[in-house]
Structure 1
Amino acid sequence: MRTTAHELEKAILVRIAAGTYAPNSRLPTCEQLAAELGVNKNTVSKAYRALAGRGFVRTSAGRGTFVLMRPVKSVQDPSVALAELSSLLALVVQEAKLAGLGREQFQEVVDQITARYYDRATPRVGFVECNRLDASTLSRDLQVALGVPVEPLLIEDVLAAPSRARRRGALRPGNRA
């Protein structure tokens, strides 16, 4: 049976979710993963591109593909995201059963991971720029690189209403725009 890029994408997500590929770690090269899994390197490349497009990894020419701290928030219908997550979670549960984990052991691991990601405070980052297009584009790039939400702000808006920018998390008292 031939492995599709979509199936490979899900398998890589399972490895990321399981911690096999930790945040900020470098993924195997396309050639290495293709050899390990017995698939074509173009299939691996296509899966990596799809994961990069969804904000799970970033690719740097000549350096490799790296797991992001957390996926960049994508604009999509929540029901679509829930269906994708359900599908991914089903794969993780199957993997846990194959590894011999009991239901209680697996639930304990899920609870620990859930607490780690849901119970920590997410930093608020604002990027101030004088040009709306640049603010938006550079904020998106920073969001991918940092793995945290970055809000684009225009310098004119910050200067006109610094208290609003402060509430949005971009400025702290005592900092200057």
Structure 2
Amino acid sequence: MVVELEQTGYYPQLLADVVLQSLAGEPPVDALVHLETTFDADAVRRHVTVLALTATRLVTAHVDDHDPPEAGGAPVAVASSESVPLHDVRSVVVGHRVTAPERHRPGAAPQELTLTVAWGTLSRVDVEPATCGDPECEADHGYTGTMTADDVSLRISADAEGEAAVLAARRFARSLTRATRAPRA
């Protein structure tokens, strides 16, 4: 995992410090390091998510770029971590986007993989006005919405990050699924 942290080129010592502190001496059995670069009007921003699986816990760590407190100030990174007992992981969702599905072969990497892990800390609520289906109706039908568990979600694309990154994400998803399949007490 340390090699993957170094390869991000994004404050690897900070990343390692945050992850190792959260591991608290428990060795990881698998890990996934995901670097995402985004662009806004004024800046290029980086975000790194580390998922580390131990025999008893899922450790997540995030490091993000933030604007300096004053113009021209020193760069600022914000790091956070969370340690989740494996018995609290509620779901592991793996989405695959496959181009030319008629030619897909077992074991081949999808073009894109989305890994979503939920343990109940965060939920996303999407609310929209309810309708009755009549385009002429002007009545207020209230609101409708969905609530989705969404503690961490990573999208890994072969186009952006390479096939090896997609395969690594799929391997980690399998390890996490295997670790959380035990019946709850």
Could you tell me the TM-score, scaled by structure 1's length?
Answer: 0.25
Whichever structure has more strand as a proportion of its residues is 2
Relative contact order: is structure 1 or structure 2 higher (C-alpha 8 Å, sep ≥ 6)? 1
Could you tell me the TM-score, scaled by structure 2's length?
Answer: 0.24
